[in-house]
Amino acid sequence: MAGLLKKQLKEAVKVIGAGSFLFASYLTAVGDERFYANQLMPLMQKIVGAETAHVLAVKLISLGIVPVSRYQDPASLEIKAFGLKFKNPVGIAAGFDKHGEAIDGLYKMGFGFVEVGTITPKPQEGNPKPRVFRLAADQAVINRYGFNSCGLAEVHQRLKAREARQLSQEGHPLGINLGKNKLSQDARADYTEGLRVLGPLADYLVINVSSPNTPGLRDLQGKTELRKLLHTVLEERNALPVEHKPPVLVKIAPDLTIRDKQDIAEVVTELGVDGLMVSNTTVSRPETLQDPQRSETGGLSGQPLKELSTQTVREMYKLTKGKVTIVGIGGVASGQDAMDKIRAGASLVQLYTSLTYQGPPVVTKIKRELEQLLKEQGFHSVSEAVGADHRDSNTPT
């Protein structure tokens, strides 16, 4: 009798175990938001290091192994920005798909646009490892990658191979983020080389002068240097032998003085730069940080960056009088976060760190919540909500 009971118990355990595995597999495949955020992603973070997890995620997405999203982007989320159509305003920020390996898988996840890079002219390893640190207690990440890049030639070959599948006409633009090599003595030459090689394959280009992990890079945000750089870049862009001249945007830091922001606004409006990416990671460390790894050197992203980046969006929108398209980046983890940046002046938003903590379902969650917020606040489209805070006399700008 005892032997039979033991055998039945073993069988029950097997059935329950198999059932649990199948149920977990089902939740993974369908992209259950709570399962990813509360179970799967925390488990992965316990057993896989930050950079290894990043590399693994890019690989899986490049193979198309992503949860199925059945959410259909409504017309209210569609927006036109710098001459391009976006089916929705939620993009993946540069730094995730550094080498342009997972573009189509990222579109499959529901992103309205994908930005690859940062890409440097020559291949470079970046900074020594470890160089990525999760601050789980703060829903944040500190990285000091240092523009690890496979270089222009490899990315060009990869993007050229998928050129026929380019989805920009379907409302899924591709952005390419350009940087300079660490040891380069001529930043303008590096950026123009990147533009000449990859410009014809881009729907838009980003000049990244704000990573805190390349020595001297942020000096290029100074008024004189920025004007020289952007003047050269725009001339090269205009000379590209293509019918569609890709818009040029500049990615700026959140750690700028009021004078810096005024200078940048003056330069981009004077030269006719198409847009601003606001913002990169911050070198500041808010006193609210709790994680033991908070003192690591590098750029801080995620929730602690959210208010700082949104305020920078608000200031740059005001300084450019709403005439320069802004992409809001930093701490976007919900529809409300996206809406805050849109109301502050962003036409589009990007995320990255929230993907680390909530997994692929965060994309659909943000879009669904944003759709609902637009309805609740009386907006028929994203474009109607852009800069709404500046039109509200009760909201300080």
What angle, rounded to 10 degrees, do the helices at 335-344 and 361-376 form?
60
User: Could you tell me where the beta strands, DSSP code E, fall in 151-244?
Assistant: 174-178, 204-208
Per the residue annotation, which of 184, 210, 211, 334 is the catalytic one?
A: 211
| Parallel, antiparallel or unpaired: strands 248-252 and 275-278 | parallel
- The residue type of 282 is T
Residue with tokens 């496979």: 150
Secondary structure (DSSP) of 283-317 = S---TT--SGGGG-SSEEEEGGGHHHHHHHHHHHH
Characterize the bridge pairing of strands 140-143 and 132-135. antiparallel
Question: Residue 347 catalytic?
Answer: no
Q: Which amino acid is at 124?
A: Q
Cβ–Cβ contacts within 10 Å for residue 38, how many?
Answer: 12
- Collect all residues with Cβ–Cβ distance below 8 Å to 232 and sequence separation of at least 6: 188, 191, 192
Active site residues: 211
